[in-house]
Amino acid sequence: MDKIKSTFKRVPIILWFIVVLIVLFSIRSDQYLTMRNLLVLLQQGSVLLVVASASTFVIISGGLDLSLGGILTLSGVTAALAINAGLPIPTVLITGALTGFVCGTLNGFLISVCGLQPFITTLGTQGVFYGLALVLTNKQGIPVSNEAFISLGGLINRTIPMAAICCAIFYLFAIVVQDHTRLGRYTFAIGGNEEGARLSGIDTRLWKWIVYAFAGFLTGLAAVILVARLEVADPLVGTKWEFEAIACTILGGTSMNIGKGDVKGTILGVTLLTIIRSGLNVIRVPSLWQSAVIGTVIILAIVFQVSTTARGEKK
């Protein structure tokens, strides 16, 4: 109960941002607050939510993963190859997840066993993952046409947002892992006080490794849904996703380097980002300007977020 309360105490400022933006957009356009548009938003935001959750885990543990976009791309490519090879859908899902898991395991190995800096390590592996995706696709997107598979990411009967439903399941899975497993606890323990965690008998090296592997795994799952939604595995699809995932994580109230945060908060960050992006189209902000506007709003939101949490902590 206290936990829910403290979560809510920490987030109102970003909720206000979301509310204000929705009101603003729906005043400017009667197309905005329609069922159809909301379904589109859900479909768009849901994959990002899963990737951002992966990022949240890594950041709470005191790390950083810049390779999530690369993992997303590469896992999408292997999943597309699998479905086009005629493999059954569960196997395709496993293929994507396993690809992500392997990528994450590599990150974790380099960071926790070899002791490299997360920033530079994942910057490097990002290049490797994109490169492999380019090689596997020969620079061309791989289209997928299996009906059953595509329905995983589509709007069934124009009303059931399958991508959102699948991703919601993955997101709930991430929440359960955070709140109800040792992995979740150890993520906080390591991020908050790594030496203290080690002295408590936690194998910090192993668990840091697992955190990266888990982040890769989640991203791999998200990749499968993304391919199903786009009906193509594009070798550059993941560009900038890692940064958006990090932005959403921070917007959601997770802090870097102090082991504080919550996967549950991350959904707010994703909501904000998705709403801005779609809203800018609705109110016809020229596409050349959109990126700058989005960046500004994110920074504003974070400034408010940080200043309010700082005040809250002093009390």
Partner 1 sequence: METNYLIEMQHITKIFPGVKALDDINFTLKPGEVHVLLGENGAGKSTLMKVLAGAYTPDAGTLLAEGREITRFDPITAKKNGIGIIYQEFNLVPYLSVAENIYIDHMPPKMGVLVDRKQMHQQADKLLHDMKMNVDAHALASEIPVAQQQMVEVAKALTHDLKVLIMDEPTASLSEVEIQQLFEIVRSLTKQGIGVIYISHRLQEISQIGDRITIMRDGKYICTKDVKDTSPEEIVKLMVGREIVDLYHRNRQKPGEVALKVEHLYSEKERLSDVGMELRRGEIVGLAGLVGAGRTELARAIFHVDPYEKGDVTLLGKLADKKQSPRDMIERGLSLIPEDRKRQGLSLILPIAQNIVMASLSKINPRGWIRAAAEKKCVDQYIKELNVITPSSEQLAGNLSGGNQQKVVLAKWLCTKAEVIIFDEPTRGIDVGAKKEIYAFMDELVKTGKAILMISSELPEIIGMSDRIYVMRDRKIVKELQSNEATQEMIISYAMEGAIEEERQDG
Of the candidate spans 34-42, 133-141, 152-160, 190-198, the one that interacts with partner 1 by CB under 8 A turns out to be 190-198
Please give the Cα distance from 18 to 21 (Å, whole number). 5
Among 203, 289, 292, 307, binds partner 1 (CB under 8 A): 203
H or E element: which one contains 254?
Answer: none
Among 183, 232, 282, 306, binds partner 1 (CB under 8 A): 183
Please give the Cα distance from 27 to 197 (Å, whole number). 51
Q: Does 257 bind partner 1 (CB under 8 A)?
A: no
Size of the site for partner 1 (CB under 8 A): 26
Tell me which residue has tokens 């439903």: 165
Q: Does 198 bind partner 1 (CB under 8 A)?
A: yes
Of the candidate spans 17-25, 175-183, 284-292, 304-312, the one that interacts with partner 1 by CB under 8 A turns out to be 175-183
Please give the Cα distance from 188 to 200 (Å, whole number). 13
User: Quick check: helix, strand or coil at residue 156?
Assistant: strand
Q: Does 182 bind partner 1 (CB under 8 A)?
A: yes
Of the candidate spans 32-40, 84-92, 177-185, 246-254, the one that interacts with partner 1 by CB under 8 A turns out to be 177-185
Q: Does 193 bind partner 1 (CB under 8 A)?
A: yes
Report CA-CA distances (Å) from 154 to 96, 140, 191, 232, 237. 18, 23, 38, 13, 18
Please give the Cα distance from 287 to 291 (Å, whole number). 8
Q: Does 197 bind partner 1 (CB under 8 A)?
A: yes
Q: Does 7 bind partner 1 (CB under 8 A)?
A: no
DSSP 255: B
Contacting residues toward partner 1, per CB under 8 A: 2-3, 179-186, 188-189, 192-193, 195-203, 258-260
